[in-house]
Structure 1
């Protein structure tokens, strides 16, 4: 039976927080709004960029119109600068290569908008043949809605029993629960380990090698 491993992107495969913070602060500053420390963005991200902007805007300014204004400044800047400071977490490229070599199907399910998701995956993991690379797309609900997982499962032609979904946040843990698939948390991402533990995932990885161990690869 083919097994499919689906990864979240931000906070799971790549540490992207500094570039996300810089681009959002650039957009906020251009309208005279206060900016935030990079660390604050760990709790702003995870539900797509519109929710990121809503969280970053000051109280009383969180209107849909202001979210769209920030988005219009953010996207051109982020498209140019989304790999300035972003890097894979330690051991991630080697882990993906090992899984690929062992015959696992691999995919990405992100709440980052599609254009940036595709670009970053191709830039940092050019030798990995992903079955699907899906980000946030118009008309498709964001995680924790399970539709993105179901879409990848259909493309890969595997049953839910053959899927492991891996992510770093409560959004990811809830996505796995909603999709009815085995879910693994990673503790190196943007959110605290206690947030993952609250959802009782099948395992929590503290380093990339722990994922290999969970999947039965020495």
Structure 2
């Protein structure tokens, strides 16, 4: 194994509180009902437009309202996306150990590109990521494998030497669609049963388990 590609939200960082707050601010702006933080764990995973669609009342799940919510969410989230977000326990040490072992590290996220890069650089300044890719115009979102394929091509590392790590069904599908070793982490936003139903190669319950799987 020469390359480990990580999902971001729910895998490296617990970002749910900031995502929930920013979405609720935008919903409140338009006089729409808000949601509890735990509900957002099932709204996220497919990019922010899909997040807004899921958070909106059924009669307002259309492009007009998605763009209205986005217009308030993005500037607020850009200013507040690290207020409450933090790395999961043991993640910093895991990344450093991978780097020290000469293994390349990358991020493949459905978070929009600017926010993904900002958060990764802010919380993991000592890690030399081979690539940080988020959601970008014209590039299909996960579970489409394009983002993983971009990273393997950029690094020149074969898929048989690549591991993809994530916390949701979207991530399990992404890894399988990209034909790389796929690892689920149960500390994120989705239940372990959801991960199991996609038959990943391994499921880690904490960073120590993931460390042992990746580094022995």
Q: 1:179 corresponds to which residue?
A: 178
Secondary structure, counterpart of 1:60 in structure 2: helix
**Superposition map of 1:67-82 within 5 A:** 67-82=66-81
Q: 1:65 corresponds to which residue?
A: 64
Cα distance in 2 for residues equivalent to 1:123 and 1:111: 18
Cα distance in 1 for residues equivalent to 2:197 and 2:137: 31
Segments of 4+ in structure 1 off by > 2 A? none
Cα distance in 2 for residues equivalent to 1:66 and 1:107: 34
Deviations 1:53-76 (A, max 9, x none): 000000110011110110010000
Aligned-residue CA RMSD (Å): 0.7
Q: TM-score, normalised by structure 1?
A: 0.98
Q: 1:8 corresponds to which residue?
A: 7
Instruction: Give structure 1 stretches of 5+ with no counterpart.
Output: none
CA positional deviation for 1:209: 1.3
CA positional deviation for 1:216: 3.3
**Superposition map of 1:111-190 within 5 A:** 111-190=110-189
Cα distance in 2 for residues equivalent to 1:215 and 1:128: 17
Q: TM-score, normalised by structure 2?
A: 0.99
Q: 1:38 corresponds to which residue?
A: 37
Residue 215 in structure 1 maps to residue 214 in structure 2: yes
CA positional deviation for 1:204: 0.4
Cα distance in 2 for residues equivalent to 1:185 and 1:215: 13
Count how many residue pairs are aligned between Structure 1 and Structure 2: 216
Instruction: Give structure 2 stretches of 5+ with no counterpart.
Output: none
CA positional deviation for 1:210: 1.1
Secondary structure, counterpart of 2:143 in structure 1: coil
